[in-house]
Amino acid sequence: MELKRAAAGASAVLIAAVAVPLLVWQLGQTAKSMGSGGNDGWLSKAAVGSYSLTLGGSPVTQAEDSPSSRKNTGIAGRAAPLTAGGLSALDIFCAPQETETHTGREIPTPLPSDEVLGALPYINDESAQDGLITRYTFTDGDSGQFVTLDNGSQVRNCTEYDNDYLLGLSRDKPDLSYDITSEEPLVLIYHTHATESFERTEREHYDSAFSCKTTERDMNIVSVGDEICKSLEDAGISCLHDTLVHDYPSYDAAYDSSRETVKALLDEYPSIKIVLDIHRDGIERDTGERLAPYCEIDGSGAAQIMIIACAGDENGAVPGHLDNFRFACALQEQCELDYPQLCRPLLFDYRFYNQDLSPCALLIEVGSQANSIDEVRHTGRLLGKELGKLMIGQ
């Protein structure tokens, strides 16, 4: 019996060894038919796990001869540089692909955040030491996927568009000549996943029993949106912050739900020109170590951000996605101008995220589940300040 089991196991391994590479190859061939650029298609990237949430391998430090115009200074004892060099399938630069699907049920009605404050309480044991938290300063990549913009910031191009073409697009600045004196809102901040939460304090370990989600808005991503809006209002720019909760009690169809909300708000406030869906990333290695994208600005810890511009998905291209890309590059370069370490490389990828609703629609990841609430709030203030400068033309 044991011999039969061993033989059966060996057969299964042999079949997998043949079938899996063939499947990956076939997906890659399908992907190549989706565009004409020099990069691999999105299906082949997905096949080798570039969108995986769990990350393996050891961090790689930046090579001394890296062509990057930015050099990571590091933060002694607290953070280390991390680049794409040497990383392959398990790609720490890339935010996990959202895979939620709508099951055909009625789109859930979002809930006012003030009405569900206690529905999903923040229960996070500060004494727990279940896994390691490491602060990393993400620096530039040096592979062929990375496009270095004129001021040194970078785009990670996961599409079939040619890198030189995208560099040219980044130089074609978007028209942001808005009447900022208007009392009508110009910017909409919202959260498809409003319950995404953070650590209460900067710590070295985390509580694995905590879901990293809460409806307590002083501990979730909504508080980051508050800080963005405050900075915009300080700059004299009217901002609308939608705090409806789309991902509780059900995570399913959250993007469908937020889409309906954004469409209604754009109808009600046609003055809105910029639409930002503010999230946080989730980065965890297969060892259980969680990474907090981190930098120091003005003497205080801040969470790094990643701007995501979408080219489309299996259902087709995002209408106006190149306009969104140009706006994303302008915001990335504005942040680079004042705070060179604030941004991770901008991600241009085959995703959707409702970015067809506005020519200036983006998703922005602020830190990860391992950052402290103070770090991400600090970043929210900085992001709002830089967006305001971009709109004013400073």
Asked whether the predicted pLDDT for residue 367 surpasses 90, the reply is: yes
- 308-347 confidence digits (pLDDT tens): 999 998 778 899 999 999 999 999 999 999 999 999 999 9
The answer on pLDDT for 97 being more than 80 is no
Give residue 177's pLDDT: 85
Q: What are phi and psi of 127, to 5 degrees?
A: -90, -10
| Paired sense of beta strands 205-206 and 131-138, if any | antiparallel
pLDDT digits (tens, 9 = 90+) for 190-234: 999 999 999 999 999 999 999 999 999 999 999 999 999 999 999
Question: Could you tell me where the beta strands, DSSP code E, fall in 85-229?
Answer: 131-138, 146-148, 154-157, 187-190, 205-206
Confidence check: pLDDT of 383 > 70: yes
The whole-angstrom separation of Cα 55 and Cα 252 is 24
Crossing angle of helices 163-171 and 321-338, in 10° steps, is: 70
Percent of the chain with pLDDT over 90: 65
In this prediction, residue 284 carries a pLDDT of 92
389: buried, middle or exposed (CB in 10 Å: 19+, 13-18, 0-12)? middle
Q: Residue 102 — very low, low, confident or very high, per pLDDT cuts 50/70/90?
A: low
Q: What is the pTM of this model?
A: 0.78
The single-letter DSSP state of residue 64 is T
Q: Where are the beta strands (DSSP E) in 253-289?
A: 274-281, 284-285
- The full set of domains in the chain, from first to last, is 42-392 (3.40.630.40)
Torsion angles phi and psi, residue 135, rounded to 5: -90, 125
